Structure 1
Amino acid sequence: MKPSILLAAALAAAALAVPALSVRAAKPVVCAQCVKANMQRLAGDELRGRGCGTEDEHVAARFVAETLKRYGVAPGAGVDSYLQAVQLSTPTAAATPALRFSAGAAQVDLAQGRDMVALEPPPALEAPFVRLTDAHVAPEAVAGKIVVYDSSIYDAPGVQGLLRAGAAAVLTPASDVIEAHWTELAGRPPGRTQIAGVERRAPRRTGVTIFAKPEALAALRGLPEGQARLDAPQGPPRERTTYAVTGVLHGWAPDADRHAVLLSAHYDHLGVRDGVIFHGANDDASGTAAVLEFARILGSGAKHRRTVYFSLFGCEEEGGLAAQAFLAHPPMEIGDLAANLEFEMIGVDDPKHPGFLMLTGWERSNLGPTLAAHGARIGPDPYPEQNFFSRSDNYQLALRGVVAQTISAWPIPPTYHAASDDLAHVDLNLMDQVIGSLVAPVAWLLDSDFQPAWTPGQKP
């Protein structure tokens, strides 16, 4: 699951109270050995964390395609292909971004990764700097300036307010959650990845958000206001390839393709960092294994009324890149998709809500309640403050009008984006139960004439 940077400080927030739902016992139709073998292949040492655009990720994509073929699922990315290649061009840093504060002969130097994390810094920025402890100031006090927002804690609304008021940059304390993901954030590229064949709407340009360690803020407190300069020179872009992998089982109805269902997950993760493999077993080998198991079950039985697609996306962790290319050049008519169920992080049980499966954006459509009425053990998202609905590949489809939502077990386990997200920390029995509990509801959906629809006013 890709992180939301300005929401990251809320990752440790307490969950809302919801009634516990018991996951059904695993259906005999679920092949526990198949699920285990697919998890071992995807999250084992050999694939080295399936980093975006790496050969390890490519091997994972080919494995997924070969598995779909072995399960009797037809190619879905073309006449005879499961793989949709996606070309990426990502900005690189030519040198470590550095920020210098000067006041007369005194100065304080901050470096990316050591003292600060600047998100998508421009190649160069120079402006006067001011120090504030209160974000409620007149715009002219911050417009065009670099603001040291010296509050006691990270305050997302305050930072955003200063940026909207015209601040060129806002330096603010790093929360505990930001510090926990410090290396990951510091290593991010200095700009957005471009996707060949995809027109990405340029984001509304605001100032730069900079997270600082306590020591850096302490050093700045002894410096009078003066001038600041941020240098972040860029190098040549990094060219990479990722894949969207798609298979299809066509339904028996004459209009089967016009009311299709898409089951999806992402197969990439964070790769290798500082020599350590981030295996991504729960995030999201678990979801990929679930989709593959649905493919095996549905591919080995009689045809259903509706067509069902199985899509596994690469480079989700860097912003849903393969999913964006998939939507720009879809192998089906997007308007013909009745629904998309994304599977993400279903391998770790939530201790506060044991046996509970959540559907992101539950209140946004009639899909979740209807599936629940037909036996799906799912319920509302107990972490609405995390905005998980917009943090998986389902959101790309939802923006195109498809009723697209994600099923998850516990989206904020201690292993999230950590090296400990490995096979030893995944509950395979839970995964079997999760998949088994959804076999009958998904089969019902494929054989029904039910039309998923957005709740009035809730379409993204």
Structure 2
Amino acid sequence: MKKLILLLVAISIFSCKVKQENQQVKSDVNITITADEVKETVSFLASNDQMGRDTGSEGLEASASYIENQFKQFDVKPYYDTYRDNFKVQDMDTYNVIGFLEGSDAKLKNEIIIIGAHYDHIGTKAKMVELDSIANGANDNAAGTSSVLAMARYFAAKKTNKRSLMFVLFSAEEMGLLGSKHLANRLKTENANLYTVVNMEMIGVPFQDRDYVAFVTGYGKSNMAEAINGYVGSKLLGESEIAKQYNLFKASDNYPFYEVFKMPSHTISSCDLSNYDFYHHVHDEIDKLDYDHMANLINQLIPGIEKMSNTPTKEIQMNNE
């Protein structure tokens, strides 16, 4: 019996050691987001087959299934019983798609960072342009969706997040931010402990005349941009005067969370409508995007999200305006 107990203890110690070594390998592995990776996602979502991913359409259903399969491949778990957060739009059934990575810290894992983007678009246009009626929505917002999936793959492999990460692909954004409004209210009812929201929108093209790579909507409402720049050691994020002019802070899925939770909630974008001519246009197609730029932005942003998820205190704070 004594020998058996010693053997079990030895097995337990060995198992713990292997587990620790595996965790170490996970955190040390080098992962780089590639242009080909983000292009593959955009190419599926923005293909003619998806017919513009309108809410309630077969194209949106196919896109949701694609996102679910990506989460499964990455070993990102559902937040609810399934990946789909169902809600109604008029008489249509639709759904946000949500993946979840629990944080590694016993205390900090109770705080959730949402990394989101909308995966729907506007479907087809009544007026054809050069015999084309499909609004493919490559930049708006297959591009943002690709960044969320890329970050989900990264963090699922690295397992370096102490806070929990919720990866949300919103539906019905184009119908008035309906998916994010639904989820914000649902999470509020469930007393979810949200830390912040980082929403990704139209990152498919670069700026040519800015001293930053992307802008943050509602720049002055919190210190998020300043904090992320400090985390990554460069001026990655800046303020767009054009975005302020168009009030883009209220135009994407960050805004319902800001309203409901009164916390830092922003959209990161590299397109403020001044550097892309195909917003809600049938020519918003796969070949119009700069995938090297997209991969570069995501790779620079990831260390900022990583640091945000690991600080012992809440460093992202609202500003007094």
What TM-score range do you get, normalising by the shorter chain?
Answer: 0.7 to 0.9
Identity of aligned residues (%): 26
Flag structure 2 segments of 5+ consecutive residues without an equivalent: 1-29
Q: What residue is the counterpart of 1:225 in the other structure?
A: none
Could you say which residue in structure 2 is the equivalent of 1:379? 238
The aligned residue for residue 308 of structure 2 is: 445
Distance 1:429 1:331, change over 3 A: farther
2:290 to 422, 427, 434: 427
Counterpart Cα distance in 1 of 2:237 and 2:312:
21
Report if the CA contact (8 A) 1:358-1:382 is conserved: no
1:293-313 per-residue CA deviation (whole Å, 9 max, x = no partner) reads 000010111342111110000
Residue 53 of structure 1 aligns to a residue whose secondary structure is coil
| C-alpha distance in structure 1 between counterparts of 2:191 and 2:268, whole Å | 21
- Aligned counterpart, 2:12: none
Listed as ranges, the matches of 1:132-211 within 5 Å are none
Q: 1:409 aligns with which of 257, 270, 280?
A: 270
Q: After TM superposition, give the deviation of residue 402 of structure 1 in Å.
A: 2.8
> How far 1:37 moved relative to its partner?
1.1
Query: Is it true that 1:268 corresponds to 2:131 in the alignment?
Result: no
Selected match of 2:110 from 258, 276, 279: 258
Q: Contact 1:261 / 1:339 at 8 angstroms: preserved in 2?
A: yes
- Residue 5 of structure 2 is matched in structure 1 by none
Length-normalised TM-score, structure 1: 0.58
Question: Which residue does the alignment assign to 1:88?
Answer: 89
Aligned amino acid, residue 47 of structure 2: G
Cα drift, residue 28 of structure 1: 5.8
Structure-2 separation of matches of 1:60 and 1:397: 24
Aligned match of 2:181 in 301, 312, 324? 324
The C-alpha deviation readout for 1:424-447, integer Å capped at 9, x for no partner, is 111111111110111111111111
Name the SS for the 1:439 alignment partner.
helix
Q: 1-side partners of 2:192 and 2:158: how far apart?
A: 27
Give the alignment's TM-score, normalised by structure 2. 0.83
Is this contact kept in 2: 1:250–1:303, CA < 8 A?
A: no
TM alignment of 1:299-378, pairs within 5 A: 299-330=156-187, 333=190, 335-353=192-210, 356-375=213-232, 377-378=236-237
Distance 1:436 1:54 in 2: 33
Once residues 354 and 363 of structure 1 are traced to their aligned partners in structure 2, the CA distance between those partners, rounded to angstroms, is: 17
Give structure 1 regions of 4+ aligned residues with deviation exceeding 4 angstroms. 331-335
Q: Which amino acid aligns with 1:86?
A: F
Partners of 1:439 and 1:328 in 2: CA distance: 28
The superposition leaves residues 356-391 of structure 1 with CA deviations (integer Å, 9 ceiling, x where unpaired) of: 310111111011111111126111123211101110
Give the distance between the partners of 1:260 and 1:404, measured in 2 at CA. Answer: 12
Equivalent residue, structure 2, for 1:397: 257
Distance 1:29 1:67, change over 3 A: same
Cα gap change, 1:332 to 1:370, in 2 (>3 Å): farther
| Alpha-carbon separation, structure 2, partners of 1:251 and 1:332 | 22
Given candidates 72, 76, 83, the residue that maps to 1:69 is: 72
Asked if the contact 1:348–1:409 (Cα under 8 Å) also holds between the matched residues in 2, the reply is: yes
Which whole-Å CA distance do the structure 2 matches of 1:54 and 1:69 have between them?
23
Any conservation in 2 of the 1:361–1:381 contact (CA below 8 Å)?
no
Q: Is the 8 A contact 1:43 1:49 kept in 2?
A: yes
| Per-residue deviation, 1:260 | 1.6
- Return the index of the structure with the highest Cα Rg: 1
Which structure: greater strand fraction?
A: 1
* Cα pair distance change 1:285/1:314, threshold 3 Å: same
Residue in structure 2 matched with residue 31 of structure 1 by the alignment: 34
Tell me, in whole angstroms, the C-alpha distance in 2 between the residues paired with 1:73 and 1:64: 11
Give 5+ residue unaligned stretches, structure 1. Answer: 1-26, 90-238
Separation in structure 1 between the aligned mates of residue 289 and residue 318 of structure 2, nearest angstrom:
33
Tell me the secondary structure at the aligned position of residue 329 of structure 1: helix
State the secondary structure of the residue aligned to 2:158. Answer: coil
Shift of 1:316: 0.2
Point out the more displaced range, 327-336 or 298-307: 327-336
State the AA in 2 paired with 1:406: T
Q: 2:55: which partner in 1? A: 52
Which amino acid in 2 is paired with 1:427?
D
Q: Cα offset for 1:350? A: 2.5
Q: Partners in 2 of 1:279 and 1:57 — Cα distance?
A: 12
**Following the alignment from structure 2 to structure 1, what is the Cα–Cα distance between the partners of residues 75 and 285?**
29
Judged with a 3 Å threshold, the aligned counterparts in structure 2 of structure 1 residues 45 and 334 are, in CA distance, closer, same or farther, namely farther
Query: AA paired with 1:418?
Result: H
Aligned-partner SS, 1:358: strand
The offset of 1:415, in angstroms, is: 1.0
| Range moving further from structure 2, 447-456 or 353-362 | 353-362
